[in-house]
Amino acid sequence: MAHQRRVVVTGLGVISPIGNDVDTFWRRLVAGESGVGEITRFDTTDYKVHIAAEVQGFVAEDYIDKRKARRLDLFSRYAVAAAKDAAADADFDPRPEAERVGAVMASGVGGLQTLHVETDKLLHQGPDRTNPLLVPMMIPNMGAAHVSLELGTRGPLSTTCTACAAASDAIGYAARLIRDGAAEVMFAGGSEAPISPVGVSGFAAARALSTDNEHPQGASKPFDAKRDGFVIGEGAGVLVLEELEHAQARGAHIYAEMAGNGMSSDAFHMTLPDESGEAQGRALLMALDEAGFDPSEVDYINAHGTSTGPGDIAETRAIKHALGDHAYEVAISSNKSMIGHCLGAAGALEAVATVLTIVNSLIPPTINLHDPDPECDLDYVPLQSRFAKVDVAASNSFGFGGHNVALVFSRFDG
C-alpha cells in the first residue's frame, strides 16, 4: 500500500468584517463582536435591506502596486491580500519551488463590483465606454489567477464556484492535490465582494436576507426562533496547506492537520436545502471516514449556520444524522452570527476559525441566540465563548443548488 501523504496547515490569512489580520479576526470572534452595520457602499434608501457585514479599513495598496490594484476587482484584491498574509505567516516563498506550489481559490459570484460599474456605463454612456478589462476583472477565476501572479506559483491552479460551499470545496480539492502528489504546497481559500446594488437586491428579492435593519448587530441570529434570513458579508480567507514531510523539512510551524473532506448533493431544489439533512450529514460522514475518525470523536462543529429558517433546521438534522446521539454532546457554533454570510469566502474564513479553535482550545460563540428554535435543539455555544479541548473539529458549508461540503481538521500530534 502506497504511503499516505498527510496535509497540514502552516499559514493563515484573512480579510474580514471584524479584522484584516488573523489576530484581530480571532480576538473579535471569540469576544462575540459583530461586524454588521449600515451599508456604506451605496444609497440603500429604496432597498428592503440596509445592512451588511462590510470589510473596514482595507487598503489594497498595502498589498498590491497601486497601478495593478486598479486592474483588479475588489474580490481579487481581497484574495491577494489574504494569500500574501498567509504566505508571510507560513514564512514561505513559493518561487524557489514554484512548479510544486499551487493555488485553489473560490468565489461564488466573482466581480460584482466591476459588473455593476460597467453595466451602469453601458446603459448611460454607451458600449464604447466599456472597460476593456471588464471580462478579466469580473470572471470568478481571477482571484486565483492573481494569487498565482502575485506569489509566483506555477503548480496546479484552479477555482471552485459552488456557491456558498465554494471555499470549503477549494480547501478540500487543494488537500487532495497534495495527497495525490500533484503539489507540495497549496494556497487554498476563497474571496468575495458582493455588497453591491445587484448583489443586495438579488439576494433580497430571493427573500434570503434579514430585514432587521433597526438592529444591525443583532440581525444575524443562527438557530434562533426569530431569525429572518442571513446578513450578506464579504472578505477572504486563505490557508497554506502543505505536505507534512515538506513542512517538517523546512521547520514550518504547524497549526493543525487537514484530515479529511466530504462532498454530496441534495438533488432537491435550486435554493432550498433538503430539510431531512440526509445528504448534508452524509458529507460530514464522508469527511470523517477519510480522516479516520469515528463520529463519536468529534469535539466541535463550525456550523454553516446562516440564520435562515430552513437552512438551520436542515443542518441540525444533518448533524444528528451524522453523529447520532453524540450530536447532543458536541459543541457547535456559527461564525456568521458575527461576520455575516460571506458567500464563496465563508468556508475559508470559517476554516481559519476552526483551525484556531483547535489551537487555542477556545470555541467562538453563536451570538444573538436568545430564543432557540425548538427544532434546533443542539449545543450551539450561545452568546459567550467556551474553553474546551478540541482535538477533532469539522466545518460545514452548503450552497445553493444542493452543494454540500464538510472539512475535518485535527490537532497535529507530531
Active site residues: 164, 304, 341
Grid cell, residue 248, equals 517538517
Q: How many CB atoms lie within 10 A of CB 309?
A: 16
Query: b or e along 134-158 (b: 16 or more beta carbons within 10 Å of the residue's beta carbon)?
Result: bebbbbbbbbbbbbbbbbebebbbb
The residues that bridge with 15 in the sheet, in sequence order, are 236
CA distance 301 to 376: 14
Instruction: For residue 406, report the phi and psi dihedrals to the nearest 5 degrees.
Output: -130, 140
Helices assigned H by DSSP within 294-402:
309-323, 336-339, 346-360
Q: In angstroms, rounded to a whole number, what is the distance separating the alpha carbons of residues 204 and 222?
A: 18
φ, ψ for residue 358, nearest 5 deg: -65, -45
The CA distances from residue 414 to 204, 268, 357, in Å, are 48, 42, 18
Q: Are 121 and 71 in contact (CB under 8 A)?
A: no
Residues contacting residue 142 through CB under 8 Å, at least 6 positions apart: 72, 73, 76, 110, 111, 136
Q: What letter would DSSP give residue 2? A: P
3-class DSSP state of 231: coil
> Position of cell 477519510?
290
